[in-house]
Structure 1
Amino acid sequence: PPTSQIKTLADARTLGIKTPFMSNSFAAYRGEALRAIGGFPRHVILSEDMYVTAKMLIDGWKAAYEGSAVCRHSHNYSLREEFCRYFDIGVFQSREAWIYETFGGIGGEGMRYVKSELKFLGPRRILWWPMSFVRNALKLLAYKLSKQEKRLPRGVKKKLGMYKRYWDSPYA
């Protein structure tokens, strides 16, 4: 978004889970703040950026977003890679439930994303709509499946997730 903002823990009431959202693709952290919360975690499968931002906000620090900054960063995930990524996202959300308890849940973000994607594609790109539906259905399936990850054997989780080495770690 083009609007810059400074977020604090109090913003969780209005921004919800977007309060600790941070993209590590183009982020800088104050060393003192990062050290104060114990640095980047080793035990999370992904989203270490959101994890440390949440910890910093709880610790009284602020998170700044500069709307005029520009960063070109994208992924060209295959359908399988997208599925695996969303499985891992769901694992993170389940295992780090304190973040969602503190800041609020995702509350319809997925549906808002689908609507914005279809609006972006518009009627002139209607041939892309089926792929959009397939891609988003796979994301939802992976996310829902990840909520059952504690019941799944480690080998299955390794096949379903993007970060295979995580499942060999002591944190899995």
Structure 2
Amino acid sequence: MNFFVVVPTLNAAEGWSRLTPLLLESIAADRVLILDSSSTDETVNLADAAGFRVHTIARSEFNHGGTRQLAAELLPDAEILVFLTQDIELAQFDAIRWLLKAFTDPDVAAAFGRQLPRRGATPIEAHARFYNYPAQSGVRTLSSREQLGFKAIFISNSFAAYRREALMAVGGFPRDVIFGEDTVTAARLLLSGWKLAYVAEAQVYHSHSYTWMQEFRRYFDIGVLHRRQSWMLSEFGGAGGEGGRFVRSELRFLWPRHWWLLPSALIHTAAKLLGYRLGRVENLFGAGLKRRLSMNRLFWN
């Protein structure tokens, strides 16, 4: 199976020692494409020294979907494209091999692995990983939306792989989204009759401890995505029910051992809700205000 690993980077030198050791143990260096957004640190030099392929774009050209689509176009011989983000750490040397096993089923178009809390993660960020990335693997089809609703198209390009043939058949990654290109693509794949695989045996460390303002901005962007790609909600249902289940799970998780974090969790929840609702009506705001409210500010330039 001919595959390549793609890592979009921007000033990734600080976390390089977490990302690369197991990556270099598990696959040949020339199977890795670093797609760099004009870093000003040692990222490109480190990538060259490791033997990785490097392609540089202007920072202003970065787009979550468009940049990954560029990678697909730069690697026309790849059967499978594995995407990582620069802040992950492989939890096992064969994590990518585990992920690739999903493609032995010719109907699987995309697969994503399990994300574990990073070392030193707060209880709140740890719960988010345990909730969204369970220990059981599974395969989703279009009929999964009847049980899972919007969750049927959950996937994360922090650690995911795509069958290039299927990806290109649905138009590739969207170039015009603020982020969430993985979710949009997953929806298109399911609607086209392909399967999505979750491979719990393939594991990385990856989590974030967001401030309430960062949560607000991230969820503002999610609201923007859902307003502009409203067909996803029509096809797979709204995200509100899943959000409620997450909050209830979080409160149950924190109460026995981390009860003092409950006020913080509720503040974060309120910030997410407010950000999301404002994002859903972003058409009422000017570009300058949207840039200040957004996590992905380059999108508004």
Q: TM-score, normalised by structure 1?
A: 0.93
Higher relative contact order (CA 8 A, sep 6+): 1
Query: Which aligned segments of 4 or more residues in structure 1 are displaced greater than 3 angstroms?
Result: none
Report the counterpart of residue 120 of structure 2 in structure 1. none
Report the counterpart of residue 115 of structure 1 in structure 2. 248
- Deviation (angstroms), 1:94: 0.9
Greater strand proportion = 2
Is residue 221–residue 296 contact of structure 2 (8 Å, CA) maintained in 1?
Answer: yes
Q: Which one of the candidate residues 104, 114, 127 is aligned to 2:237?
A: 104
User: Gaps (5+ residues) in structure 2?
Assistant: 1-133
2-structure distance, mates of 1:153, 1:40: 27
Report the counterpart of residue 46 of structure 1 in structure 2. 179
2:287 is the counterpart of 1:154: yes
Q: Which one of the candidate residues 53, 58, 75 is aligned to 2:208?
A: 75
User: Gaps (5+ residues) in structure 1?
Assistant: none
Report the counterpart of residue 22 of structure 1 in structure 2. 155
Is residue 145–residue 236 contact of structure 2 (8 Å, CA) maintained in 1?
Answer: yes
Aligned residues: 168
2:260 is the counterpart of 1:134: no
SS of 2:210's equivalent in the other structure is coil
> Which entry has the higher C-alpha Rg, 1 or 2?
2
Q: Which one of the candidate residues 276, 282, 296 is aligned to 1:143?
A: 276
Equivalent pairs: percent with the same residue?
48
- Deviation (angstroms), 1:20: 1.2
2-structure distance, mates of 1:57, 1:88: 23
Q: CA RMSD in A?
A: 1.2
2-structure distance, mates of 1:128, 1:76: 13
Greater helix proportion = 1
2:164 is the counterpart of 1:31: yes
Please list the CA deviations of residues 6-54 of structure 1 after superposition, one character each: whole Å capped at 9, or x if unmatched.
Answer: 1111211111111111111111000101111111111001110011111
2-structure distance, mates of 1:95, 1:6: 28
SS of 2:197's equivalent in the other structure is strand
SS of 2:261's equivalent in the other structure is helix
